[in-house]
């Protein structure tokens, strides 16, 4: 059964204000960087080398960000403007995608506040301005994936196609993106209404479409394993902190990174609840996102154990944090 659209509606004023202010902020960031100039950051210098032309795969990262950067170099030349404009477009798109996803389940004002919660993730709000290029693309695709997933309640074939396209492009952004699609699907299976929707055979079509999009690049990456897995040395960085397998240290570091990243949003949410003297409400779709965040964290822990990973960077957990901060 197709659920009727019961989302709160508005006249578009909040949406226009939010998008206008957001665009102004990123245009300001772009202008400041271009005017101030300076040398390229290491991440940017690498892009100058890797994004000179189209390729199915090069280096240790999937190629989505390089594809966009290559286009910007063709349009504007190899310069600071092309690098910074491309980066800020991805960052802008992440906020917009998060707003669009939240807009399906809450009022425009609440969706805008929820989207702005990204500022509490330093690896995205600050570090992505100077580094973390692939993380910026991955964050955008995570937000777009949630938006596409929440649209499946309409029961339209086009929405399943969009879902498959978004997953495919997300898979070309960064490896840790793959925490999100299974987390959303598994979370959906824990809720009665979503179980019925996910029983639709068009889910298989969407996943096949995603696989077809990823296949050429992933095939090329597997054909050059030395380059693809050249950064895996970092998984053992810092050594073991406690006796036993290295993954025990990895789990400790994973838990620490999650606790640190979620501390401020949790404190703010708690303060708001105290001030308003009521607990936050959790509708079915909000429960879906909370459960998806928890499942993504479990999947990350499983990956740490299976890969015997001892070192975990905060930005690697961005998919978990993006799902969690949507609440």
Looking at the DSSP bridge assignments, the partners of residue 61 are 58
Contact (CB, 8 A) for 66 and 96: no
28-33: average pLDDT: 92
Looking at the predicted structure, is the pLDDT value of residue 318 above 70? yes
Average pLDDT score, the chain: 88
**Could you tell me if residue 8 is inside a domain?**
no
Sorting pLDDT into bands at 50, 70 and 90, what band is 3?
A: very low
**Could you tell me if residue 1 is inside a domain?**
no
**Could you tell me if residue 185 is inside a domain?**
yes
Contact (CB, 8 A) for 150 and 194: no
Closest alpha carbon to 325 in 99, 109, 66: 99
**Cβ atoms < 10 Å from Cβ of 306:** 9
Closest alpha carbon to 144 in 164, 126, 124: 164
Q: How far apart are CA 286 and CA 267, in angstroms?
A: 19
Number of domains in the chain: 1
Looking at the predicted structure, is the pLDDT value of residue 163 above 90? yes
Q: How far apart are CA 263 and CA 324, in angstroms?
A: 12
DSSP state of 58: B
**Could you tell me if residue 6 is inside a domain?**
no
Looking at the predicted structure, is the pLDDT value of residue 327 above 70? no
Show the domain range for 100: 15-325
DSSP state of 312: -
272-296: average pLDDT: 80
Q: How far apart are CA 291 and CA 22, in angstroms?
A: 29
**Could you tell me if residue 143 is inside a domain?**
yes
Tell me what pLDDT residue 281 has: 61
Tell me what pLDDT residue 185 has: 97
Looking at the predicted structure, is the pLDDT value of residue 295 above 90? yes
Sorting pLDDT into bands at 50, 70 and 90, what band is 4?
A: very low
- Comparison of pLDDT for 206 and 132, the residue scoring more: 206
Q: Using one digit for the tens of pLDDT, what is the confidence trace for 56-113?
A: 887 788 999 999 999 999 999 999 999 999 999 999 999 999 999 999 888 898 899 8
**Cβ atoms < 10 Å from Cβ of 243:** 7
Q: Which of 117-121, 250-254, 267-271, 285-289 has the lowest mean pLDDT?
A: 267-271
DSSP state of 176: G
133-162: average pLDDT: 94
Q: How far apart are CA 18 and CA 238, in angstroms?
A: 43
Q: How far apart are CA 124 and CA 140, in angstroms?
A: 10
Q: Is 61 helix (H, G, I), strand (E, B) or coil?
A: strand
Tell me what pLDDT residue 314 has: 87
**Could you tell me if residue 5 is inside a domain?**
no
CA-to-CA separations, 246 to 15, 243, 250, 252, 304, in angstroms, rounded = 48, 8, 7, 10, 9
Residue 130 has which token pair? 């100077």
Q: C-alpha 262: how far from its chain's center?
A: 16
Q: Using one digit for the tens of pLDDT, what is the confidence trace for 189-230?
A: 999 889 989 999 999 999 999 999 999 999 999 998 888 888
């Amino acid at each position: 059964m197709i659920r009727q659209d019961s989302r709160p509606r508005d006249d578009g004023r909040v949406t226009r204000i939010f998008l206008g202010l957001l665009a102004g902020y990123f245009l300001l960031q772009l202008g400041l960087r271009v005017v101030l100039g300076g040398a390229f950051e290491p991440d940017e210098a690498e892009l100058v080398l890797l994004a000179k032309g189209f390729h199915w795969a090069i280096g240790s990262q999937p190629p989505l960000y390089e594809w966009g950067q290559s286009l910007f170099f063709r349009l504007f030349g190899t310069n600071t403007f092309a690098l910074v404009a491309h980066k800020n477009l991805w960052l802008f798109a992440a906020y917009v995608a998060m707003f669009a996803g939240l807009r399906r389940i809450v009022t425009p004002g609440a969706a805008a506040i929820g989207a702005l919660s990204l500022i509490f993730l330093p690896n995205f709000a600050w570090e992505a301005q100077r580094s973390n290029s692939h993380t910026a693309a991955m964050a955008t695709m995570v937000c777009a994936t949630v938006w596409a997933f929440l649209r499946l309640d309409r029961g339209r074939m086009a929405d399943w196609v969009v879902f498959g396209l978004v997953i495919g492009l997300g898979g070309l952004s960064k490896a840790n993106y793959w925490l999100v699609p299974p987390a959303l699907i598994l979370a959906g299976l824990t809720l009665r209404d979503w179980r019925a929707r996910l029983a639709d055979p068009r889910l298989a079509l969407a996943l096949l479409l995603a696989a077809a999009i990823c296949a050429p690049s992933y095939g090329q990456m597997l054909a050059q394993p030395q380059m693809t897995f050249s950064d895996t040395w970092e998984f053992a960085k810092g050594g073991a902190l406690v006796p036993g397998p290295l993954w025990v240290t990895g789990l400790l570091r994973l838990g620490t990174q999650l606790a640190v990243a979620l501390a401020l949003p949790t404190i703010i949410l708690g303060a708001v609840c105290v001030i308003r003297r009521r607990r936050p409400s959790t509708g079915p779709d909000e429960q879906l996102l909370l459960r998806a965040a928890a499942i993504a964290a479990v999947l990350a822990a499983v990956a740490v154990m299976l890969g015997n990973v001892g070192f975990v960077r905060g930005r690697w957990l961005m998919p978990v944090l993006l799902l969690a901060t949507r609440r």
